[in-house]
Amino acid sequence: MKVAIVGAGPAGIAAADVLTGHGIAVSVIDEGRVAGGQIYRRARAGLKLDVDALLGAEAANYRSFHATFDRLRDRIDYRPETLVWGLEEKRAHTIHAGVADTVSFELLILATGATDRVLPIPGWTLPGVFTLGGAQVLLKEHGCLVGRRVAFCGSSPLLYLAAKQYRAMGAEIVAVLDTTPFAAKIGAAPDLLAAPQTFVRGLGYISELRRAGVSIHHGVTLVAFEGASGVEGIRFREPGGGERAIACDAVAYGFGLKAETQLADLAGIEFRYDATFRQWLPHADSEGRCASGVYVAGDGATIGGARAAALTGTLAACAVLDDAGIPISGVARSAMRRELARLRRFQRGLAHAFAWPADVIHNLDDRTMVCRCEGVTAGDLRTSISADFGPGEVNRLKAITRCGMGRCQGRFCGLAAAELTAHQLNAPLEAVGRLRGQAPVKPIPLAISLAGNAAAAARDETSAPA
């Protein structure tokens, strides 16, 4: 039996570890240069990054993850810097270093992770506005800060963690602007206490920032990122209604996570709308089992964070073994399921404590660019939606306006386009559908495809009977 795993973050590597331990041949296909995904992104070669100073309590998990990967690396078919751009029956189409290839498998585990969930506001495309997760990745991999005077904006527990990390590495933290009121965090406390240690740690980050004199605002409305050739400041409204402006030279911006689900789509998995996260997610059973030989794990399946990702990776690998009739040893599955249930409850709490402010999209100024790839504005979308026989579904909206048709394939505008459509039609969000994934799931140069075809043709020729 041969299993292909796409993604080498906590979910992918946990799955590879279990399968390798049971004698299964595993290919791990990773877009990164070395395993880690985003959460455990490893410092670049030669960079003297003080991991303990940067990661604090998370440093032990980081080290343990990389120790596991280093132990596995020679025992698996590890393919770094390799993009899976398409899937067909039992075959993944890949590109590595400009060369196209295919990886065959009998069973597939998708552990594709997540990106930041963002929403458009005026100025969000200015140089210097980066995603919150991206700001952390830049620091972990390159020891670089996104700017000198950095504001952390949006709504996410990571706002506080990232601000703390940036402060430790020498950045001036101009402000943390959290769009969810503090009362919502109190209200979510019962669910957040399902993971008491993480909850207390998060509160600790907030009080540490406060003690350091960092200005923290809860319940704000972000009005605009402003600047000429790059971001120079932020305008926001306080909960009482007063508008304020602060100066900064960089913004780390995010509202929780958005699952990377394009490959799940190509694999033919059924999607279901998840009201907690307001996004469509691949449908799987509690062990990550989807239709016919495909399994999902980690944040690409359900947003849950690094620990939940590792647990679901392990459980998905066990599901693979179960389905193949291979006895499982050395995995405490029932304890893992209990821990996962607690983390799911915690995650529901986070979704309320750090809410997605859909009303910001509903009230977006017509001139604001929603699709940053194709330059499609909120006004363009509204005009199209309100036309006679206008689109009531996001894929039709995409076909008409090009919103979501650009290089990112709607990763960063898709949710906003759906919210805008639903609001204008006075329909529930799930009624306007979701942008379908298309191959190639990320841009591939035409020259690469041709080179791959030429290589495959040459291979076919040499293997043809004389």
Could you list the residues that contact another protein (CB under 8 A)? 31, 38, 44-49, 81, 115-116, 125-131, 133-135, 137-139, 141-148, 169-171, 229-230, 249-250, 260, 369, 372-375, 406-408, 411-412, 442-443, 445
Beta bridge partners, 150, equal 173, 250
Residues 6+ apart with CB under 8 A from 208: 164
- Cα 341 to the chain's mean position, in Å? 21
Q: Which is nearer to another protein, 31 or 287 (CB)?
A: 31
Q: Which is nearer to another protein, 168 or 193 (CB)?
A: 168
Compute φ and ψ for 100, nearest 5 degrees.
-80, 145
Q: Which is nearer to another protein, 121 or 318 (CB)?
A: 121
DSSP letters, 287-319, are TSB-STTEEE-GGGTS--HHHHHHHHHHHHHHH
In the complex, the smallest distance separating the C-beta of residue 112 from another protein, rounded to whole angstroms, is 10
Q: Which is nearer to another protein, 146 or 364 (CB)?
A: 146
Mapping DSSP to helix (H, G, I), strand (E, B) and coil, where does residue 100 land?
Answer: strand
In the complex, the smallest distance separating the C-beta of residue 390 from another protein, rounded to whole angstroms, is 22
Q: Is the sign of the CA dihedral 264, 268, 269, 273 positive or negative? A: positive
In the complex, the smallest distance separating the C-beta of residue 277 from another protein, rounded to whole angstroms, is 17
Q: Which is nearer to another protein, 1 or 169 (CB)?
A: 169
In the complex, the smallest distance separating the C-beta of residue 14 from another protein, rounded to whole angstroms, is 20
Q: Which is nearer to another protein, 46 or 242 (CB)?
A: 46
Distance CA 336, CA 311 (A): 6
Q: Which is nearer to another protein, 8 or 135 (CB)?
A: 135
Distance CA 293, CA 104 (A): 13
In the complex, the smallest distance separating the C-beta of residue 243 from another protein, rounded to whole angstroms, is 25
Compute φ and ψ for 433, nearest 5 degrees.
80, -165
Distance CA 150, CA 97 (A): 35
Q: Which is nearer to another protein, 3 or 448 (CB)?
A: 448
Distance CA 11, CA 307 (A): 9
In the complex, the smallest distance separating the C-beta of residue 369 from another protein, rounded to whole angstroms, is 8
In the complex, the smallest distance separating the C-beta of residue 271 from another protein, rounded to whole angstroms, is 19
Say if CB 381 and CB 420 are below 8 A apart.
Answer: yes
**What does the block give as tokens for 251?**
């913004």
50 residue type, one letter: D
In the complex, the smallest distance separating the C-beta of residue 174 from another protein, rounded to whole angstroms, is 14
Distance CA 189, CA 194 (A): 9
